Amino acid sequence: MREFSFFMPTKLVFGQDVVKKAGAGLALGKKALIVTGRSSARLSGALDDVLEALSGEYVLFDRVENNPTGENCQEGAELARSENCDYIIAIGGGSPLDAAKVMAVLAVNEKSPLELYAQGWEKKPLPIVAIPTTAGTGSEVTPYAVLTIHEEETKKGLGGPDLFPAVAYLDPKYTASLPLQVTIDTAVDALSHLVEGYLSNRASSASDLAALQGIAVWGGVIPALRSGDISLQVREDLLFASMLGGITIAQTGTTFVHALGYPLTYFHDYPHGRANGIFMASYLEFTHAHAPERVEMVLELLDLPSLNAFRELMNELFADYVGKLHVPEERIRAYAEKAAQTKNVSYSRGTPSVEELTEILKENIL
């Protein structure tokens, strides 16, 4: 019997020059806080387009770090308060987009970032316009923000229905300046959202709608990812697949791939998508025992003949990284114990035990 709800309130505008075409309609209020990383908003051309289209006032916060912390978000929120900004325009990869969501909350709620995890928030965050410059996180259509939490030595997601951006403008040309390895890292993040969402025990007919199309589109770009020849058409497909991945996990959340990936980012500086990619093949093998038809559907849509072919693909895309990390056994056990406590693991089919997670970690990073 089908039973589901589906909530995705972000207005999507996808295509060439959508920011320019929005013109004055880009503004959601009187004064914008524009949130970006250090260079990508300029490099991608997105900031120029925004400044050209925007007629109203703004103030720029261009200091979002990769894998942002709560303190980094506090800084931006203070600027929003002192400058009386009433909405946010976020430009960048998942880091600036996620940081902007937390700034939107902190700008109107007198709380510390850690308190948001423990207590939530009362006042409605500032509305956000999201403009992605990577094709990976899908943050422009999710109600999540992932922060680095030093107190807990990990990365942790914050979620809430009012964290969905109000509007997202997706223009593939903004991803054209991405270096090849970042293109691959982020593309694999998008794939992990689509696949984890489809294989999650929270998947529904509605989330499958996005996941299945996204996996098929991603399958079509495999030859380009392998060759490194990334045309604008491929960029468009990747951005579309990434958006569909976001729509999927907005409903399902992610599974244990993300839980195992966080320590690789926190302790070993692996970019998020690469940290997921290291575990994807083992994840499919584990999940095959619990949902064989679903795993086979993933392989079919990717046009890969076997689980082994999937592992070979990951080995090829991450040739410089697979088998290179040698984490001592006692640390592996600690990573598995921490991962086992996350919601991501409880959303995974077959709900892996600490022992099973330890085995998967050993298989890939011992």
Strand 87-92 relative to strand 128-132, pairing:
parallel
**Binding-site residue total for ligand NAP (CB under 6 A)?**
34
Span of 15-23, 92-100, 118-126, 299-307 interacting with ligand NAP by CB under 6 A: 92-100
Helix axes 94-106, 70-82, angle to 10 degrees: 60
Is 202 among the residues that bind ligand NAP (CB under 6 A)? no
Answer for which of 175, 207, 252, 287 binds ligand NAP (CB under 6 A) is 175
Instruction: Give min distance, CB of 272 to ligand NAP, in A.
Output: 4
Read out DSSP for 98-129?
HHHHHHHHHTTS---HHHHHHH--SSPPPPEE
SS (H, E, C) 178-214: CCHHHHHHHHHHHHHHHHHHHHECCCCHHHHHHHHHH
98 binds, among Fe ion, ligand NAP, none (CB under 5 to 8 A by kind): ligand NAP
Span of 143-151, 214-222, 327-335, 355-363 interacting with ligand NAP by CB under 6 A: 143-151
Instruction: Give min distance, CB of 50 to Fe ion, in A.
Output: 25
Answer for which of 10, 72, 133, 255 binds ligand NAP (CB under 6 A) is 133
Is 342 among the residues that bind ligand NAP (CB under 6 A)? no
Strand 31-37 relative to strand 87-92, pairing:
parallel
- Burial of residue 88, with CB atoms counted within 10 A of its CB: 0-12 exposed, 13-18 middle, 19 or more buried: buried
Name the CA radius of gyration of the chain, rounded: 20
**Kind and range of the H or E run holding 63:** strand 57-64
Of 272 and 288, nearer to ligand NAP (C-beta) is: 272
Span of 114-122, 169-177, 214-222, 301-309 interacting with ligand NAP by CB under 6 A: 169-177
Is 274 among the residues that bind ligand NAP (CB under 6 A)? no
Is 61 among the residues that bind ligand NAP (CB under 6 A)? no
Is 125 among the residues that bind ligand NAP (CB under 6 A)? no
Answer for which of 185, 189, 196, 208 binds Fe ion (CB under 5 A) is 189
Is 67 among the residues that bind ligand NAP (CB under 6 A)? yes
248 binds, among ligand NAP, Fe ion, none (CB under 5 to 8 A by kind): none
**Kind and range of the H or E run holding 146:** strand 144-149
Q: How many CB atoms lie within 10 A of CB 259?
A: 27
Instruction: Give min distance, CB of 239 to Fe ion, in A.
Output: 15
- DSSP single-letter state for residue 160: -
